């Protein structure tokens, strides 16, 4: 099995078919899922208009479904039971369209009623506020004193916004008499008297100033309290109607939710089909569809087009591997990567950085190997790993909107692998809730350290200094793998000076590190170590030559960054030990705090009550502290592991500027997530 693979080989594909068979071809493409459709020539205006009209119907359905989904009370995950046959997609969409429009007609009617009742309710609530202000200011007066139309004079109750009060008074000073003036929040209520002859002009001016004339007579001829009682009854009645209509709306949506989910799924696939048809180029007699087909799908596409069409013709041309788009290439081919089993979830991290382009290796296997190692040692506690497995399995689903999404499922598998790596790292470091065993068994630190050394297969990993050294050793290996891949890439694509640069780095590192350890740090003894310095100088000269050749005169300075960069990159991997030790010492701290809480309660209360109360508080501190430590260390482990890949490792050899292979096909999920937001 090859550890690193290039994306699957692609064929530039051109499909020719007679005009009356284009639907058959599109159905084949959707059912097989073998063609990544690229650009093509335009259709005739008349034919394009027909397709655009169909596309408008699809967009109309999508918009209507989105409007309906927006009215959902809560998000729903809907299981779709109906089947979709690719060749019937157009027919199925027409059926889904009719059903959706029928449902929308009912829902639109309910929404209209809800809107009307809502406006009436707002109006009554506003009237209630104004009547309460009148009662508070004038008492339980008679309605006839507030709303009266007589032969010689008229009395009206008017509400004017605060900003227009002075202008209102000024313009109507010769036409009205203000009987009473009341404050009501940001509005002012006036009881005015005017002649019947002037009242029409008065009404007009009031409306110009965004005022309101309260229609109190329609509520009866009693006093203010009786009117207020009637208004409250109307509000209660309207609120009940509003609530009933809302419930009716929710029930209607719930009753039709499966139909809507199916319609959404059909509309999405029909949209893709029509967009592809609009991309299809058309000559006088032939339709031409162009795109990319992977090696694994080549045979079935040829077979289907040959067997199921009379005129269909497929022309395929293998695309050569290149790192960058060449001048004679119209488009860059997409990349199809395929990792199986344990490797598959880690495609998520690779794609997060960027898809490999058609000519570079997929780094997913290396991500799958090293990411759990980094994460595991950054937490490095076996019990924490077990708890993390539990949290991912039982709790994480409840914290996301759509636990059925493919991306989330892959993310969970990454966490499972990382949690298992954490358990293994914890066993290797003999770390089980920090020094919890020491507190339980009443050991001192020397006894505890001796116990750790006795149960771990690698006793040196329990030493902080050795753990830091181990982390940097991992970094040295990881960084050199990246440079080795860059060397292989330069060799494959004949990037001569990049190859010389990487070779120089290897020589400088291979001879320079032993020299530093022997003659400068004195950690090892190597006879005639000075010879190593001269050998490493050869590597430095190669780096300088490569840099000057590729960067001109600036290369005389830039080579320094290559050498110091290796040191900086390797030192960066000390964060593995940093986060791991921080997790361990925080666990020890929470254990110590729990012990102090227990001891403090015992000294204050004493006896069995002290044991009980102290035990309860100590356990609470213990559980909360360790849970917090697990969450924080998991976040830190994930983020810092990503950083080691995205900053230190992948940029050395990986561009990640590829296009993902997305074939035209029916994407059919058994569960569709619908959310009102």
Nearest to 313 by CA among 548, 21, 671, 645: 21
Residue in 439, 446, 381 with CA at minimum distance from that of residue 582? 381
If one counts every other C-beta atom within 10 angstroms of the C-beta of residue 571, the result is: 12
Answer whether 161's CB lies under 8 Å from 186's CB: yes
List, for residues 623-671, the tens digit of each pLDDT value: 999 999 999 999 999 999 999 999 999 998 898 888 888 887 766 666 6
Q: How far apart are CA 516 and CA 209, in angstroms?
A: 88
192 three-state secondary structure: strand
The dihedral through the CA atoms of 662, 663, 664, 666 has a sign that is: negative
Residue 292 near residue 12, CB atoms below 8 Å: yes
Q: What is the pLDDT of residue 283?
A: 47
| Phi and psi at residue 291, to the nearest 5° | 180, -155
Q: What tokens does 289 get?
A: 């569809």
Q: What are phi and psi of 76, to 5 degrees?
A: -135, 145
Are the beta carbons of 319 and 9 closer than 8 angstroms?
yes
Distance, CA of 128 to CA of 508 (rounded, Å) = 87
For 120-151, write each residue's pLDDT tens digit: 999 888 888 888 898 888 888 888 888 888 88
**Distance from the Cα of residue 77 to its chain's centroid:** 17
Q: Using alpha carbons only, what angle is made at residue 161 by residues 156 and 166, rounded to the nearest 5 degrees?
A: 85
CATH code 3.30.70.100 region(s) in the chain: 117-243
The whole-angstrom separation of Cα 418 and Cα 421 is 5
CA 207 to chain centre: 51
- Residues of the chain where predicted confidence (pLDDT) is lower than 70: 1-2, 39-48, 50-51, 85-88, 273, 276-286, 311, 323-330, 515, 517, 519-525, 529, 555-556, 558-561, 666-673, 677
Topology (CATH) of 117-243: Alpha-Beta Plaits (3.30.70)
Distance, in Å, from the CA atom of 213 to the CA atom of 455, rounded to the nearest integer, reads 89
Beta bridge partners of 318: 11
Tokens of 513: 């590190």
Contact 336, 44 (CB under 8 A): no
pLDDT, tens digit, for every residue of 198-223? 888 888 888 888 888 888 888 877 88
* β-strand partners of 24: none
Structure confidence at residue 279 (pLDDT): 62
**Structure tokens that stand for 137 in this block:** 């200011």
Q: DSSP of 472-509, one letter per residue? A: HHHHHHHHHHHHHHHHHHHHHTT-HHHHHHHHHHHHHH
Q: Report how far residue 633's alpha carbon sits from residue 581's, in angstroms, rounded to the nearest whole number.
A: 10
Cα(208)–Cα(195) distance, rounded to whole angstroms? 20
Q: Are 133 and 184 in contact (CB under 8 A)?
A: yes
The contacts of residue 575 (CB under 8 Å, 6+ apart) are: 378, 471, 640, 643, 644
Residue 374 pLDDT: 96
How confident is the model at residue 640, as a pLDDT? 95
For every residue of 408-433, which 3-state class applies, written as one string? HHHHHHHHHHHHHHHHHHHHHCCCEC
- 3-state secondary structure labels for all residues of 338-403: CCCHHHHHHHHHHHHHCCCCCCCCECHHHHHHHHHHHHHHHHCCHHHHHHHHHHHHHCHHHHCCCC
How many residues are listed for the chain in this entry? 677
């Amino acid at each position: 099995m090859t550890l690193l693979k290039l994306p699957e080989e692609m064929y530039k594909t051109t499909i020719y078919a007679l005009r009356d068979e284009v639907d058959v071809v599109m159905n084949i493409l959707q059912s097989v899922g073998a063609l990544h459709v690229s650009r093509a020539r335009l259709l005739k205006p008349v034919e394009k208009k027909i397709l655009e009209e169909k596309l408008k119907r699809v967009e109309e359905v999508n918009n209507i479904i989105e409007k309906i989904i927006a009215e959902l009370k809560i998000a729903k995950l809907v299981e779709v039971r109906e089947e979709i046959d690719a060749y019937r997609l157009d027919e199925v969409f027409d059926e889904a369209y009719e059903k959706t429009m029928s449902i929308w007609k009912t829902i639109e009617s309910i929404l209209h009623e809800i809107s009307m009742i809502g406006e009436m309710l707002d109006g009554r609530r506003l009237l209630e506020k104004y009547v309460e202000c009148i009662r508070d200011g004038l008492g339980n007066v008679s309605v006839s004193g507030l709303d009266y139309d007589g032969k010689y004079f008229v009395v009206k109750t008017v509400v004017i916004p605060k900003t227009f009060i002075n202008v209102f008074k000024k313009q109507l000073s010769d036409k009205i008499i203000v009987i009473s003036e009341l404050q009501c929040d940001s509005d002012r209520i006036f009881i005015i008297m005017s002649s019947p002859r002037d009242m029409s002009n008065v009404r007009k001016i009031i409306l110009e100033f965004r005022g309101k004339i309260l229609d109190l007579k329609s509520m009866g001829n009693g006093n203010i309290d009786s009117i207020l009682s009637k208004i409250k009854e109307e509000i209660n009645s309207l609120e009940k109607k509003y609530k009933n209509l809302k419930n009716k709306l929710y029930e209607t949506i719930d009753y039709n939710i499966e139909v809507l989910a199916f319609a959404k799924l059909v509309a999405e696939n029909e949209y893709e089909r029509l967009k592809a048809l609009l991309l299809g180029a058309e000559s006088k007699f032939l339709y031409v569809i162009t795109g990319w087909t992977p090696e694994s799908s080549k045979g079935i596409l040829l077979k289907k087009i040959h067997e199921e069409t009379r005129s269909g013709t497929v022309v395929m041309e293998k695309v050569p591997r290149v790192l960058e788009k060449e001048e004679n290439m119209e488009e860059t081919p997409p990349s199809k990567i395929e990792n199986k089993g344990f490797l598959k979830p880690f495609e998520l991290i690779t794609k997060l950085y960027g898809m490999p382009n058609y000519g570079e290796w997929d780094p997913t296997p290396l991500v799958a190997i090293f990411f759990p190692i980094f994460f595991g040692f950054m937490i490095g506690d076996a019990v924490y790993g077990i708890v993390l497995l539990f949290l991912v399995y039982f709790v994480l689903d409840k914290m996301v909107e759509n636990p059925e999404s493919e991306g989330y499922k892959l993310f969970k598998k990454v966490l499972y692998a990382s949690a298992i790596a954490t358990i293994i790292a914890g066993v290797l470091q003999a770390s089980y809730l920090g020094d919890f065993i020491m507190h339980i068994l009443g050991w001192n630190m020397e006894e505890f350290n001796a116990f750790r050394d006795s149960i771990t297969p690698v006793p040196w990993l329990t030493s902080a200094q050795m753990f830091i050294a181990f982390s940097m050793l991992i970094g040295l290996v990881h960084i050199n793998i990246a440079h080795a891949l860059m060397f292989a890439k330069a060799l494959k694509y004949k990037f001569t000076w990049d190859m010389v640069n990487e070779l120089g780095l290897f020589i400088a590192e291979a001879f320079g590190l032993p020299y530093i350890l022997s003659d400068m740090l004195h950690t090892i003894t190597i006879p005639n170590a000075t010879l190593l310095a001269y050998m490493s100088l050869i590597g430095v000269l190669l780096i300088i030559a490569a840099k000057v050749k590729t960067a001109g005169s600036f290369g005389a300075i830039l080579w320094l960054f290559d050498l110091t960069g290796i040191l900086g990159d390797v030192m960066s991997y000390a964060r593995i030990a940093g986060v791991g030790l921080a997790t361990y010492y925080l666990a020890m701290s929470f254990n110590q705090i729990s012990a102090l809480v227990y001891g403090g309660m015992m000294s204050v209360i004493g006896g069995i009550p002290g044991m009980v109360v102290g035990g309860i508080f100590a356990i609470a501190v213990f559980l909360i502290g360790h849970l917090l430590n697990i969450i924080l260390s998991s976040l830190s482990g994930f983020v810092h592991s990503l950083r080691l890949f995205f900053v230190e490792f992948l940029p050395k050899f990986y561009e990640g500027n590829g296009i993902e292979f997305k074939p035209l096909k029916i994407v059919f999920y058994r569960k569709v997530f619908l959310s009102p937001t």
